[in-house]
Amino acid sequence: MQCPKCGHEQESTASCEACGLVFAKFERRQEMLHHAAPPPAEIRPDGRGLRIWWLVGLAVLLGLGAGRWLWRPAGPPPVMVADSAEPASVADAVAPGEGPRSVGSPVEKPGAEPAASAASAVLDNPIERARDATVVIRTPWGSGAGFFVDGQGHIITNRHVVEFDGSKLNALREHLSRLEKALAEEKRRMEQLQRDLAGITNQDWRRQVESRIAHGREQIRKYQELHDQMESTRRTVEYYTPLSDLRVILVDGREHRINAVHLSRNLDLALLSLQGGSGGIAPLRPNPHPLPQGARVYTIGNPSGLRHTVTSGIVSGYRRTERGLLVQTDAPINPGNSGGPLIDEEGRVVGVNTLLLQDAQGIGFAIAAREVWQEFSGRIAP
């Protein structure tokens, strides 16, 4: 008979005397390939496989849509921190009166009407005045909110808005390491299939192997792109410094750097100092008295990148926790609202939006204004 691999002619039907191919095994393998299903939608570097659902989970780490769990600081369940990190690419939504962004000073868009400064705008509505005192805080991994508390440019926000959680960074490093190993193993498997292909003469079998190689290479390309994005995020976070990488965006679209940041040790709070002061924007003041349950309140922030959005709700109650005194509200606190103000109908600060209850609707929390001002007493100008 003739060997199907090397073409050697011989009388034995057990194995090829020239290349050693075992004919029975060859026939079984060819039969399996003939009836094989189309290549699976996952690449398998080993018995476990490089599963698509696992890689989608890694993509969440970019946040950069990042799934919200990446940006939540650790805390007692079931209360979770509202995601402050809307991907920066989403944060280009238009804000009221917004002009093009620049660093340090406004630059008007050609052909557009000059943006009116917040200082010159005459607003009779206290909610709109509070909106104009609210800012977008952008970091390399996303964005949150904050608000002016004096005329010297001090801005209050959440600590988790401006500081990346170290435990999440470690998790990102671990996922990157696992992805790198899986990709390396899959590349070796593709190389081996390519070498085997050179010795296959059966056309049906050859087409099957070629199809598997093409599919595997396409999957490797996609996952390599994901790896490169995650690696870029890791480097960005590791070298992040607020003074050089953080930007504050005003209601009219102007961007500014900060020249100082003070992080609270006890609460999820941070105090930023804006270069050049507040530019005449009227700061927000705290309400000195607790509101009764059922009182109307408003949140201001950047949910899903929609800048300076105002939503309303009521005071649902007060909760004393290890995070301090929290105001419970059903006013929406969505990704991008963290660090923004919770205000009353007079535009006075009731709290700083900071928490949401995971897997629930209409249960959010803000750090009570009294504790916020006490935390930074001596740093905020009268």
What are the sequence ranges of the domains in the chain? 1-36, 38-48+167-238, 76-163+245-382
In sequence order, what are the residues at sequence separation of 6 or more whose Cβ sits closer than 8 angstroms to the Cβ of residue 134?
145, 146, 147, 251, 300, 301, 308, 340, 341
Q: What is the pLDDT along the chain (382 residues), one digit of tens a residue?
A: 667 666 667 777 777 776 666 777 767 666 654 444 343 333 333 333 444 444 444 444 444 333 333 333 333 334 344 444 454 443 333 344 433 333 333 333 333 333 344 444 456 799 999 999 999 999 988 889 999 999 999 999 999 999 887 777 888 889 899 999 999 999 999 999 999 998 999 999 999 999 999 999 999 999 999 999 888 888 888 878 878 889 999 999 999 999 999 999 889 999 999 877 888 899 999 998 999 999 999 999 988 888 999 999 999 999 998 878 999 999 988 888 999 999 999 999 999 999 888 777 889 999 999 999 999 998 988 7
- CA distances 309 to 66, 166, 330, 335, Å, are 21, 30, 16, 12
In sequence order, what are the residues at sequence separation of 6 or more whose Cβ sits closer than 8 angstroms to the Cβ of residue 124?
none
Domain 76-163+245-382 has CATH 3.40.630.10: no
